[in-house]
A = this chain, B = another copy of it.
Amino acid sequence: MTTGLRERKKLRTRRALGAAALELAVTHGLAEVTVEQIAEAADVSPRTFFNYFSSKEEAVVAADVERARDMGERLAARPAGEPVLASVRAVMREMLGDAPRSREWIAQARLVRSEPSLVPQQLAAYAASERRLAAILAERTGLDATDLYPAVTAAAVMAAVRVATTRWLESDEHGDLADVVDRVVDLLAAGLRDAPSPGP
């Protein structure tokens, strides 16, 4: 690992900016927050803010991008022989031990729901981990990176995870997210066969 003082400092600044942006936006609403305020809260100049993020919106969803990167690394670390959908289930269970990070996550997700201008940025974060997942799958299966199979699998899986996360955040009783992920993965594995049990 080449984690010099320089890189650690940069990462700290980036996280401080992201956290400040999120907190201010949650408290006052995104439109009421200026870059100047975010920079001040993170103790840097406004100009420096733009060295890290190209917009307020990007800073607010920065934690999402990190989460997506984290998920990609965990997926890459799973045993190569494991079926893809099984890896996804396992990784989601791994990622859910951290209560404080979950609380911040929920706050951010609710903010995105109330601020439409954040939706595109949120989706872009998912797209990043989708690319990561596709690359992992291509390597694992020995297929070409331009092949349809890894790309479709990655896209479908990330879409399913996104739906599971959204539904979980919207439900009042926060059961286990991993269980919801299990259910959406089951649906994928079943080939989206039409109409499951009509429900009681």
**Contact of B189 with A192 in the complex, beta carbons under 8 Å:** yes
**Contact of B160 with A152 in the complex, beta carbons under 8 Å:** yes
A29 contacts the other chain (Cβ, under 8 Å)? no
**Contact of A83 with B144 in the complex, beta carbons under 8 Å:** no
**Contact of B143 with A188 in the complex, beta carbons under 8 Å:** no
Residues of A146-165 contacting chain B, CB below 8 A: 146-149, 151-153, 155-160, 162-164
Number of residues on chain A facing chain B (CB within 8 A): 48
CB-based nearest B residue for A155: B159
User: In the complex, A121 Cα to B149 Cα: how many Å?
Assistant: 25
A186 → chain B closest CB, angstroms: 10
User: In the complex, A83 Cα to B188 Cα: how many Å?
Assistant: 16
A84 contacts the other chain (Cβ, under 8 Å)? yes
Chain A interface residues toward B at CB < 8 A: 54, 83-85, 117, 119-121, 123-124, 127, 141-144, 146-149, 151-153, 155-160, 162-164, 166-167, 170, 180, 183-184, 187-192, 194-196, 198-199
